[in-house]
Amino acid sequence: MDWATLLQILDATLRLASPLLLACLAGLFSERAGIFDIGLEGKMLVAAFLAAGFAATTGSVWLGLLVGIAGSLALSAVHGLASITFRGNQLISGVAINFLASGLTVVVGQSWFAEGGRTPQLGDGQRFEELTFPGATEIRDLPILGSLYSEVLSGHTILVYAGLLAVPLSWWVLYRTRFGLRLRAVGENPAAVDTAGISVTRLRFAAVAIAGVLCALAGAQLSTAEPAAGFVRDMTAGRGYIALAALIFAKWRPFPALGACLLFGFLQALALRPALFQQSFGFSIQGQLLDAMPYILTVIILAGFVGRAIPPRAGGEPYVKER
């Protein structure tokens, strides 16, 4: 593998990891507050659809993003209603949300655009464009650092950078603010939080809402960021579940989440270039194996062979206030 192709792969890694990362952080906030969220996939899908649909009709990608966030938040509200207010099964609610999104996007998409569940192609100005960092063209010829800067780091959409910034931000919120402390506490021991006079319900709804916004960014990245040009049915293609896998892989912590998502993004980038893989490593590997790698790795992690993944203790259980 020469330097140029490596740069290409790293560039693709960053691009492919970005929706995973945003969704993974969404799951992080939700699950740290004790609400399991299998519905990451569905929220991404709805946001991807609405963002692309409204970007195409209004011509403004930012407006599209806003509507996408609203749609994702609506699903978050349903999830919160089911799992917090009515103390229902969070897993089942998540499964339902995924199906709802998968069905509604096609039904509504067909009714609005009549293109078999697609949205119209997004042209220039209707999607998030790739930003070129200052000086990227000038220092391209510098060895290693210059090309890393201009080829890999520069030239992504604003959503990719938002995802990268969200990692330290999430860390800061979770570990350095009062809200974060309470949020983590509510996922470990909601009764203690309740005893301190803090509303468990409100905290959990806040966490679920944050997850909704982050999922929407992830969805918008899929459908409205260059080089993508619109929504295709079921375009999330299991990324919500890979994000969930990354979350377990990272043991529910922000910076390891970045690492896990970059790793899974790298695997996806490799899977896109099977020929390259063979030529650089000397043996061919089935693309299917690379596709399955995130899931296999997660099972291995879950099995506890590579360090133990312990979820937030109150995760998945509705909180019933004592009377």
Partner 1 sequence: MDRMPRWADVLLVPLISLLLAAVISALVILAIGQNPWEALKIMVSGSVGSTYGWGYTLYYATNFMFTGLAVAVANHARLFNIGGEGQAVIGGLGVALIALYIPWPHWSLALLAAMVASAAFGAAWAAIPAVLQARRGSHIVITTIMFNFIAAALLNYLLVGPLKPAGTMETATASFPEATHIPSFRDMFSFGETILFRGTPANITFFIAILACLAVWLLIWKTRLGYEIRAFGFSEGAARYAGIGSTKIIMVTMLISGALAGMMAINNTLGEAERLILNAVEGAGFIGIAVALMGRSHPLGVFLAAILFGILYQGGSELGLTLAIPREMIVVIQALVIMFTGALDNMVRMPIERIFARRRARTPLSPPGPTLHPPGRVAPSSTPGTAATE
Q: Which residues bind partner 1 (CB under 8 A)?
A: 38, 78, 81-83, 86-93, 95-100, 102-104, 106-108, 110-111, 117, 238, 241, 244-245, 248, 286, 288-289, 291-292, 295-296, 298-299, 302-304, 311, 316-318, 320, 323
CB of residue 289 to partner 1, shortest distance in Å: 7
CB of residue 172 to partner 1, shortest distance in Å: 28
Nearer to partner 1, 31 or 151 (CB): 31
Nearer to partner 1, 10 or 40 (CB): 40
CB of residue 200 to partner 1, shortest distance in Å: 15
For residue 131, list its beta bridge partners: 156
Nearer to partner 1, 1 or 92 (CB): 92
d(Cα 81, Cα 300) in Å, to the nearest integer? Answer: 34
Contact predicate 59/281, CB 8 Å: no
Contact predicate 214/159, CB 8 Å: no
Contact predicate 18/205, CB 8 Å: no
Nearer to partner 1, 180 or 287 (CB): 287
CB of residue 82 to partner 1, shortest distance in Å: 4
Sign of CA dihedral 239, 243, 246, 248: negative
Contact predicate 192/320, CB 8 Å: no
> SS3 of 131, please?
strand
Contact predicate 109/252, CB 8 Å: no
Nearer to partner 1, 165 or 289 (CB): 289
CB of residue 26 to partner 1, shortest distance in Å: 16
Contact predicate 39/93, CB 8 Å: yes
Sign of CA dihedral 254, 32, 197, 82: positive
Nearer to partner 1, 89 or 189 (CB): 89
Contact predicate 23/245, CB 8 Å: no
CB of residue 159 to partner 1, shortest distance in Å: 25
